[in-house]
Structure 1
Amino acid sequence: MPKPTHILVIRLSAMGDVAMTVPVLRVLAQTYPELKITVLSRPFFKPFFEEIPNLDFLEADVYGEHKRFGLIKLANQAKDLGIDAVADLHNVIRSKIITKYLKFKGIETATIDKGRAEKKALIAAKGENISQLKTTHQRYADVFEKLGFPLDLNTFTVPPQKRLTPKLNGLIGVEPKKLIGIAPFAAHQSKMYPLSLMAEVIRELDKTDKYRIFLFGGGKKEIKQLQQLEKPFANVTNVAGKLTFEEELALISNLDLMLSMDSGNGHLAAMYGVPVVTLWGVTHPYAGFVPFNQPESNQLMADRKKYPLIPTSIYGIKYPPNYELVMNTIPPETVVSKVEEVI
């Protein structure tokens, strides 16, 4: 069978998972410059892929035009683009329907092995004798290897910073300060550092007068909380609700460090080669969701002596009684010290 020349890459959601495809696709495009890539994902994520050479984007409207039987229409759109292989990096019902249809049409396909059994075993171990699982980035890379395109993720080169608009330059100011992003929210409380403790972290960083700190989040409730968080501090700006998504990505690409939970913003920063310090609650770096190229030393974890069952969940949804506050065991001074050391 001849080697594919045009791969359809499917990853529909969520934001962090889609962002994790970006470094892998950069390596793919860099290693195989003659290969054409079409990414199938939600329109919102299109800006992630702008600077990758030889890559096109196919928009999936999975709640409208491409709902149910619309997935077949979407598969035919992809086929009409001349794809001759499919890399399903999602492995959910929607992506399976598209992949199986295209396979039936004679197109070569490969699907991610999410390692569900190993992840289940990691949780079932109740914190005892746990070990690192394959990273999600490597699982993505393995799909391309199945199609005949082995990748060495160590060859990743950091993309240039995005250009700052006058609006962003105005937010940053003229003083030569290091830029820190802080994304204090996560999908579940068990993965979120208490805002009262985050305020202490910000207070310590702010009073040095060496940093410009930007707060990231989304949604009305989060924006209100961030507005309160920024108020007492001279060097802190809440950007939630004030920037377009493209502006937010441009700002993130120019940061010197991102402080994040086990959530999407850490992955956004990592795809631009920005150092990320991640705070972990009931989830654990061993599950394979550490932001790309970030060392183990940048992973700050809750006290596993006090909470020995960690990790209790892969995504932070399940945890035993009294485990929702595990993040309280990460002292603010530890976070400040790590941020200053990395930056």
Structure 2
Amino acid sequence: MAKSNIRHILVIRLSAMGDVAMTVPVLLALTQKYPDIKITFLTKPFFGPIVAGIPNINVFTADVKGTHKGLLGLWKLFKQLKKLDLDAVADLHNVLRSNILKVLFKLNGIPTEQMDKGRKEKRELTSGKLKELKPLKPMHLRYISVFEKLGFHFPIFKDHILAKLEVNKDLGRIFLTENKKVIGIAPFAAFPGKIYPLAFMKTLVSQLEALQDVKIVLFGGGQKEQAILEGWENSLSNSFSVAGKTTFKEELALISNLDLMISMDSGNGHLAAMYGVPVITLWGVTHPTAGFVPFGQSEENQITSDRRSYPLIPTSVYGNKFPSGYDRVMETIAPEQIFKRVKLILQKD
């Protein structure tokens, strides 16, 4: 099908949070260049608010643990999507579930294209062998290539970001009423190979509080993380945990109004980047060269563990695999190193 005949595209990106967030600048660039294009974005219910504010986007949620679970569930999902009169499918996920959907759409004459994840080159990058680091294709460019194969060509710039959201009055009174910089800190990640030592992070938070002209917002999820952050909140004077206290939409609004986010190689950094917030990312056994740097962020904002001491880095794309002894790689990042970068960013603002 020629591009001129494509009016309605199904975009598939079911997970994870950071990967969904990285679609945002691409979809903004696409809809700016092609304002008549309609997009149905297929994702999990929790992630819908991430893309809901983009022009021409309708969110369709997949209940992958219930109604749309298994082959029968995918068949039900396909029949629901088919009713939407789609012209093409852009698979930005490329997993078994999305591949099955693509087969069904192809059998019904609807063209599909999928993202090249670069699995082979990522395996080589994380092989556990000594190697020269060569940057892989960034994720947002992998997404763009899918639309290019469908015939859509468009530039992407740093200003392809979402506007700040309005923070509700209660949160606004806590965080946004004083003339202070608001720093978000998200100290957790899905895998231990990406988590900065918590003792080091608390030291950093204490150093930041000493600046006096800042407020610190702590982000996390799950009971264990909530308990840790509440302990920090109680022992520190100017740090506040929102873990378990806000809805996801409220959290997004707060993130959009931050002056700075400090994050692991994880979803919160990508959420902040999609609003144009400066993000300092701390890298453990993963590395920026794998292509997952938050959108629009400078190289100086990528603080990596010391490869001279741990030359096999990166050992994993996700942070879940590392050889013996590599669980301590992030101890090579001193809190003072991060603190120095924070001060430089806040001075620029």
TM-score strictly above 0.5: yes
Q: Which amino acid aligns with 1:269?
A: A
**Mean CA deviation greater in 301-310 or 146-155:** 146-155
Give the match for residue 176 of structure 1: 179
Alignment partners' CA distance in 2, 1:330 and 1:219:
26
Corresponding position: 1:39 with 2:41: yes
Tell me the CA shift for residue 231 of structure 1: 2.1
Q: Compute the TM-score of the two structures, normalised by the length of structure 2.
A: 0.96
Matched with 1:189 is 192
> 1:49 corresponds to which residue?
51
Counterpart of 1:10? Answer: 12
| CA deviation profile, 1:157-207 (whole Å, cap 9, x unmatched) | 332210111111122153200110000001111110011000111111101
Query: CA shift at 1:155, angstroms?
Result: 6.2
Aligned-partner Cα distance in 2 for 1:151–1:261:
30
TM-aligned CA deviation for residue 295 of structure 1: 1.1
Which one-letter code corresponds to 1:342 in the other structure? I
Distance in structure 2 (CA, Å) of the matches to 1:97 and 1:303? 42
Instruction: Indicate whether 1:261 and 2:261 are aligned.
Output: no
Give yes or no for the alignment of 1:121 onto 2:124.
yes
Q: For 1:57 and 1:27, how far apart are their aligned partners in 2?
A: 18
Identify the residue that residue 136 of structure 1 maps to in structure 2: 139
Structural mapping, 1:54-73, within 5 Å: 54-68=56-70, 69-73=72-76
Aligned partners of 2:127, 2:52: CA distance in 1, in Å? 41
C-alpha distance in 2 between matches for 1:292 and 1:155: 8
Secondary structure of the residue aligned to 2:327 is coil
Q: Distance in 2 between matches of 1:173 and 1:93?
A: 44
Cα distance in 1, alignment partners of residues 226 and 216 from structure 2: 16
Contact 1:261/1:278 (CA < 8 Å) preserved in 2? yes
Against the structure 1 CA distance between its residues 332 and 141, is the aligned structure 2 distance closer, same or farther, given a 3 Å change threshold? same
Instruction: Choose from 115, 134, 137 the match for 1:112.
Output: 115
Distance in 1, matches of 2:176 and 2:33, equals 39
2:128/2:315 contact within 8 Å kept: no
Query: How big is each residue's C-alpha offset from its partner over 1:205-244, in whole Å with a ceiling of 9 and x where there is no partner?
Result: 1011111100000000000011112222221101101111
The 1:167/1:254 distance shift into structure 2, 3 A limit, reads same
- The structural deviation recorded for 1:30 is 1.0
1:205 counterpart letter in structure 2: L
Q: Distance in 2 between matches of 1:253 and 1:19?
A: 13
CA contact (8 A) 1:26 1:156 kept: no
Deviation, 1:263, is 0.5
SS of 1:325's equivalent in the other structure is helix
1:1-343 to 2 correspondences below 5 Å: 1-3=1-3, 4-68=6-70, 69-124=72-127, 126-154=129-157, 156-172=159-175, 174-343=177-346
Give CA-to-partner distance per residue, 1:39-73, whole Å, 9 cap, x none: 00111111112221111111100111111211122
Maintained 8 Å contact 1:61/1:67: yes
Unaligned 5+ runs, structure 1: none
Identity %: 55
The AA in structure 1 aligned to 2:51 is F
Structure 1 residues 156 and 146, CA, compared in 2 at 3 Å: closer, same or farther? farther
SS in 1 for 2:80: helix
TM-superposed deviation, 1:128? 2.2
TM-score (norm 1): 0.98
Report how many residues are paired. 343
**Alpha-carbon contact 2:21-2:51 (below 8 Å) kept:** no
Looking at structure 1, the residues matched to 286 and 295 of structure 2 have their Cα atoms a distance apart, in angstroms, of 17
Contact kept? 2:24, 2:161, Cα under 8 Å = no
CA distance in 2, matches of 1:179, 1:127: 40
Q: Secondary structure of the equivalent of 1:124?
A: coil
* Cα distance in 2, alignment partners of residues 8 and 173 from structure 1: 38
2:188 maps to a residue whose letter is F
Kindly tell me: are residues 161 and 2 of structure 1, through their superposed partners in 2, closer, same or farther at Cα, counting changes over 3 Å?
Answer: same
Q: Check whether the contact 2:159–2:276 (CA below 8 A) recurs between aligned residues.
A: no
Return the alpha-carbon distance in structure 1 between the equivalents of residues 37 and 336 of structure 2: 48
Deviations 1:56-98 (A, max 9, x none): 1111001111112111221122121111100011111110111
**Post-superposition offset of 1:287:** 0.4
Inter-partner Cα distance in structure 2 for 1:41 and 1:159: 19
Q: Check 1:236–1:162 CA distance in 2 against 1; reply closer, same or farther (3 A cut).
A: same
Distance 1:190 1:155, change over 3 A: closer
For 1:47 and 1:87, how far apart are their aligned partners in 2? 20
**2:181–2:214 CA contact under 8 A, matched in 1:** yes
> In 2, distance between residues paired with 1:71 and 1:150?
31
